[in-house]
Structure 1
Amino acid sequence: MIEVSAAIIKKGETFLIAQRGRNKAQGLMWEFPGGKLEADETPEESLVREIKEELNIEIEVGAKFGENIYDYPSGKIKLIAFSAQWISGDLKLVEHERVKWVKASELQSFEFAPADIHFVEKLGKHDKFF
């Protein structure tokens, strides 16, 4: 099983979502940005590194929001989501097609990667968590 971390970054009443690259698995679906953990890396460390590499911003990782295990045709992943705050940097898309800031109530209108749907539903009920 591959472990992947995801950042649920909130600004005001909105959350940052990213559209996966068209040539990636689940291409053009939306996700909470993040990536695979490397050897000897905590999920929090992975998240800071991945967000810097993929979006060119610095974040501060907050509380764990939850976990979801999803069995894709290519293999099983364990997605670990954390709240996060944007600290600095200007968004630069490296891996993604687009990013958007959306309210929790708007998340359901986007086609999310299957592993992320659990967190979309949870945010719809608990967006005050942040």
Structure 2
Amino acid sequence: MKKVTAAIIIKNNLILIAQRGKNEKLAGKWEFPGGKIEANETPQQCLKREIKEELDLEIQVGKFFDESIYTYPNGKIKLLAYFAEIVNGDIKLSVHDEVKWVSINEIETFDSAPADILLVQKLKGEVQ
């Protein structure tokens, strides 16, 4: 099972979501940004690296939020979500087509990647 991380970045009561690029698996789906954990890397190190690579942002990783296990046609993943805060930088897209800052009430209206749906639902239940 692949382990993958996701950053839940909340700023001014809005949540950052990113749309997967047209050349990526699950193209067009919305997700919390993050990526695969490399060998000898902690989830927190992975998130910092992935957010820098994908969005050109430096983040501080906060507390663990929750996990979601999902089986895709090409294998099972365990998605580990952490709260994170932007420390430095302006968003520059490299693998995503778009990012949006959305309210907790709007978030479920986006077509989320299947592994992210459970996290979206839990986050909505906790924030409201």
**Fold shared, TM-score > 0.5 on shorter chain:** yes
Shift of 1:49: 0.3
Give the equivalent residue in structure 1 for 2:68: 68
Residue-pair matches, total: 128
**Letter matched to residue 22 of structure 1:** K
Give the equivalent residue in structure 2 for 1:85: 85
Structure-to-structure mapping, 1:7-86, within 5 angstroms? 7-86=7-86
Shift of 1:24: 1.1
**Letter matched to residue 119 of structure 1:** L
- Normalised by the length of structure 1, the TM-score is 0.97
**Letter matched to residue 33 of structure 1:** P
Offset from partner CA, 1:70-115 (integer Å, 9 cap, x none): 0000100000000000111011000000000001111010000000
Matches of 2:85 and 2:127, distance apart in 1: 14
Offset from partner CA, 1:47-89 (integer Å, 9 cap, x none): 0000000000000000000011100001000000000001110
- Normalised by the length of structure 2, the TM-score is 0.98
**Letter matched to residue 39 of structure 1:** A
Give the equivalent residue in structure 2 for 1:109: 109
Point out 4+ residue stretches in structure 1 off by more than 2 angstroms.
Answer: none
**Letter matched to residue 76 of structure 1:** K
Offset from partner CA, 1:5-46 (integer Å, 9 cap, x none): 000000011000000011211111000000000000000100
Structure 2 counterpart SS, 1:105: coil
Shift of 1:127: 1.9
Matches of 2:104 and 2:74, distance apart in 1: 29
**Letter matched to residue 75 of structure 2:** G
Unaligned runs of 5+ in 2: none
Alignment RMSD = 0.8
